[in-house]
Amino acid sequence: MNIRISSGWIRVLFSVIIAVIPFVGFAQSSAQLKKKRERLLREIAQTKKQLEKIRSSRKESLEELVALKHQIKSREELISTVMQEIALLDSQIVEQNELLEALSRDLERLKEEYAKLLQNAYRQYLFRSDLLFLLNARSFNQVMLLLRYMDYMALYREEQAEAIRLTQQVIEAETQNLYRQRQEKDSLLKVLESQKRQYEQEMQEKEQLIERLKRKERQLREELRRKQIAEKKLRKAIEEAIKREMARKRAAATGGAFATMKGKLPWPTKGIIVGKYGTHRHPVLKNVTVKNNGIDIQTNVGEEVKAVFDGEVVNVLFSPMFKKAVLIKHGKEYYTVYSNLDVVYVKSGDKVKQGTVIGKVASDGSVGKLHFEIWRGTQTQNPEQWLRK
């Protein structure tokens, strides 16, 4: 016997599909935003600890300003992320309400249809029993058709009853989803208000710190001058070491496997980037720019520093300002530099693997800071583009 699917079932199944499909993309976007929010909260907590260490010295410094600016930037990104989460939830709540209204209308329609079926069945019971119905048949074929009709009507009533039950279950489930979404939105609104208050406070702290540092302009200029001299010496030493190595290895330059690792390299140490690659305006001094050949990662004093890729130690350098620095060769073209190390565990000629501990971060005031560079031949690269996000 061929069984047809009732219109009630079709409507319920369609409603369920419509209810589920939008949540797939939403769930992915929501999960990504939540993951980003959690990462930013961890980053903010880490920066807060660094700021507390710096401020414990009771002395204003550029390190404090750099850390505070990083904190403000992370908080701005966090506020934006939370606002996106709230907007997504708002959109989903509207869709959820519309879905519940549509399901409720379907439920009422199903109930009305089911009531009519029951009324018809009752009338048939009162006025004409199934046996009389069959006895009035004029032929065997007519009997078979009548039997099929009765089976179909019985099955149709069962389907309508099941469609009503399923619709009620869907409504209950979606009502719970709506309740959870509203709770999540209320929670995110509290997070947003809290982050906005902290952001305003940090902006005031930044302006006040800049004003205090401006009073130390002569001292800052002298510190910058000494740092630039030390940077030039370190850069010259690195370039000379690379040139000697390239001259020693006359084979055609190739980066080997290292060249395929852009955006995939592990971080050389735990921490946050407080110094970007390239040329930037000085955070306090007017009309002054500073150039960074790599990135500066603020971390704990004594934090382990690891090789980001397999290679060979070319040289261990020393600078009074940048402490010890390790230069590692990766293939015949790429090099990495790890400076401001207090302790070094490797020497020239040592082979290292990705993750090999090569030293520990030295103090930079009241916190630790690793200066990290990537070179291709004698040209510097932006390390941030090479490290994993």
Q: Are 357 and 306 in contact (CB under 8 A)?
A: yes
The mean of the pLDDT values for the chain is 77
Write the burial class of residue 279 (CB in 10 Å: 0-12 exposed, 13-18 middle, 19+ buried). exposed
Strands 311-319 and 323-330: antiparallel
Kindly report, residue by residue over 349-389, the tens digit of the pLDDT. 999 999 999 999 998 777 888 999 999 988 999 999 999 88
pLDDT confidence tier of residue 297, bands split at 50, 70 and 90: very high
pLDDT confidence tier of residue 122, bands split at 50, 70 and 90: low
For CA atoms 106, 107, 113, 116, the dihedral sign is negative
**Rounded to a whole number, what is the distance in angstroms from the first to the last CA of the chain?**
61
Q: Return the higher-pLDDT residue of 204 and 307.
A: 307
Q: What pLDDT, on a 0 to 100 scale, did the predictor assign at position 311?
A: 92
Strands 311-319 and 351-352: antiparallel
Every domain of the chain and the residues it spans:
7-214, 217-385
The three-point CA angle 382-293-208 to 5° equals: 100
Mean pLDDT check: name the lowest of 37-41, 118-122, 347-351. 118-122
Instruction: Report the distance separating Cα 302 and Cα 325, nearest Å.
Output: 15
The three-point CA angle 192-198-203 to 5° equals: 125
Instruction: Report the distance separating Cα 305 and Cα 294, nearest Å.
Output: 16
Residue 381 structure tokens? 């690269």
Mean pLDDT check: name the lowest of 206-220, 307-321, 354-368. 206-220
Paired with 328 in beta bridges are: 313, 336
Q: What pLDDT, on a 0 to 100 scale, did the predictor assign at position 254?
A: 44
Kindly report, residue by residue over 131-154, the tens digit of the pLDDT. 555 555 555 565 455 556 555 555
Mean pLDDT check: name the lowest of 21-35, 102-116, 129-143, 366-380. 129-143
Q: What pLDDT, on a 0 to 100 scale, did the predictor assign at position 249?
A: 61
Q: Is the pLDDT of residue 177 over 90?
A: no
What H or E segment, with its residue span, contains residue 330?
Answer: strand 323-330
pTM: 0.58
CA 170: distance to chain centroid? 32
Instruction: Domain 217-385: give its CATH superfamily.
Output: Glucose Permease (Domain IIA) (2.70.70.10)
Q: Is the pLDDT of residue 78 over 60?
A: yes
Average pLDDT for 298-321: 90
pLDDT confidence tier of residue 17, bands split at 50, 70 and 90: very low
